[in-house]
């Protein structure tokens, strides 16, 4: 019977309780070769004492923090929240802990955050997007850490990539709206340069418009990221003032599309009869809204899972001493046509 300690038990306490050396305890807990009876004695002592390994001590001695840092723009946006959930699941499976930070779409914050996170000596880093400040790129280059960029296909990636072409996404929705006969198609996105992915979708819109021969773009920017439904409603109001003739709108995200549709409904503008609307991201609200919102679907959770798995592989390789060649996964986009861009289908909904 051991007397209770006034401090948290250490590995030495466990070793003493099990009648072995500290090193054997260490091996047993990390799954190295230890004779079965010895291991059993150790495990019994661990649970009897309530021993919890001290991660910082282990990290210091082994030079392996077991951390992976992830930097996302925001968690309020359900898209990134799903990516983080996927990441967390994939990393947990690989025995890595997730250290999370949000930039709120500010690259100054991204840089400060990276510094803070680096103090914990992460073994890998997940970034959102492919555009980073020079200093961030330099810091990452110097650190020689495995990096995975997500939600984009950077022209010259730092390391691995799990993403898609935001330009293609914007173009796909534009082409879809053209294919159902719309000719005066507008784009509604954010006002700021802080969201490069939204900007790219706008560029895809312009390209698709040009290649369909649909005249000069009607591109309207409103609101600072994180863009939400409110910006969609406000932006739609302004858009209608400026170009009352429009018959379709490509929105930078489903949230914007939802707000835009709401504004149309308040003004008595029929969607999709008079104006068809499409979004991006396949948020749940798009499936459940009336009318349901057409979107370009992207597997947000899958991006997180794949990025996590990719980074886990790179971390494992680095621990072995070899460096994996950077992988690049392009995840698919899927155009999902729903009520907001389709006249057919279920009968029109009665007034609410």
Partner DNA sequence: ATCAAAAGTGTTACCGCTAACATGCGCCGG
Partner DNA sequence: CCGGCGCATGTTAGCGGTAACACTTTTGAT
Binding site for its own copies (CB under 8 A): 8, 50, 52-57, 59-60, 65, 74-76, 78, 81-82, 84-85, 88, 92, 97-102, 115-116, 118-121, 139, 142-143, 228-230, 232-233, 255, 258-259, 261-262, 264-266, 268, 270-271, 284-285, 287-291, 346, 348-352
**What are the structure tokens assigned to 325, written together?**
């060649």
Residues 138-170, buried b or exposed e (16+ Cβ, 10 A)? ebbeeeebbbbbbbbbbeebbbbbbbbbbbbbb
Selected range binding DNA among 17-25, 102-110, 186-194, 241-249, rule: CB under 7 A: 17-25
Q: Is 116 in the site for DNA (CB under 7 A)?
A: no
Q: Is 336 in the site for DNA (CB under 7 A)?
A: no
Name the binder of 323 from its own copies, DNA, none, CB < 5-8 A by kind: none
* Closest alpha carbon to 38 in 28, 30, 47, 29: 28
Name the binder of 82 from DNA, its own copies, none, CB < 5-8 A by kind: its own copies
261 alpha-carbon distance from chain centroid: 26
Q: Is 302 in the site for DNA (CB under 7 A)?
A: no
> What is d(CA 316, CA 95) in angstroms, rounded to the nearest whole number?
11
Query: Which one, 214 or 311, has the nearer CB to its own copies?
Result: 311
Among 1, 33, 288, 351, binds DNA (CB under 7 A): 33
**Min CB(140)–DNA separation in Å:** 19
Among 4, 6, 7, 142, binds DNA (CB under 7 A): 7
- Provide φ and ψ at 40, rounded to 5°: -60, -45
Q: Is 142 in the site for DNA (CB under 7 A)?
A: no
Binding site for DNA (CB under 7 A): 7-8, 10-12, 20-24, 26-27, 29-30, 33-35, 37-38, 51, 53-54, 57-58, 60-64
């Amino acid at each position: 019977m051991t007397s209770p300690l006034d401090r948290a038990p250490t590995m030495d306490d466990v070793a003493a309780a099990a009648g072995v050396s500290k090193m054997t305890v260490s091996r047993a807990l990390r799954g190295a070769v230890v004779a079965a009876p010895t291991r059993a004695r150790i495990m019994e002592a661990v649970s009897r004492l309530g021993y919890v390994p001290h991660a910082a001590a282990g990290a210091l001695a082994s030079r392996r923090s077991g951390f992976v840092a992830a930097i996302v723009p925001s968690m309020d946006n359900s898209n990134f929240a799903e990516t983080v959930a996927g990441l967390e699941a994939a990393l947990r499976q690989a025995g890595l802990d997730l250290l999370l930070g949000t930039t709120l779409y500010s690259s100054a914050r991204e840089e400060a955050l990276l510094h803070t996170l680096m103090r914990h000596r992460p073994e890998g880093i997940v970034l959102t997007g492919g555009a980073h400040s020079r200093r961030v790129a330099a810091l990452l280059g110097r650190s020689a850490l495995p990096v995975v960029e997500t939600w984009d296909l950077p022209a010259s990636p730092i390391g691995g990539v799990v993403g898609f072409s935001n330009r293609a996404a914007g173009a796909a929705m534009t082409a879809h709206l053209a294919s159902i006969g719309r000719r005066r198609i507008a784009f509604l996105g954010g006002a700021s340069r802080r969201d490069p992915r939204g900007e790219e979708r706008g560029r895809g819109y312009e390209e698709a418009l040009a290649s369909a021969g649909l005249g000069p773009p009607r591109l309207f920017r409103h609101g600072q990221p994180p863009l939400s439904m409110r910006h969609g409603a406000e932006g739609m109001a302004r858009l209608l003032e400026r170009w009352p003739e429009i018959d379709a709108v490509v929105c930078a995200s489903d949230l914007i599309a939802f707000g835009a549709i709401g504004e149309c409904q308040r003004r008595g503008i029929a969607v999709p009869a008079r104006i068809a609307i499409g979004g991006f991201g396949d948020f749940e609200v798009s499936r459940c809204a009336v009318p349901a919102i057409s979107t370009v679907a992207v597997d947000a959770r899958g991006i997180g899972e794949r990025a996590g798995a990719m980074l886990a592989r790179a971390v494992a390789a680095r621990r072995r001493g070899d460096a994996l060649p950077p992988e690049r996964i392009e995840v698919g986009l899927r155009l999902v046509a729903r009520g907001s861009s389709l006249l057919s289908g279920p009968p029109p909904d009665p007034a609410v």
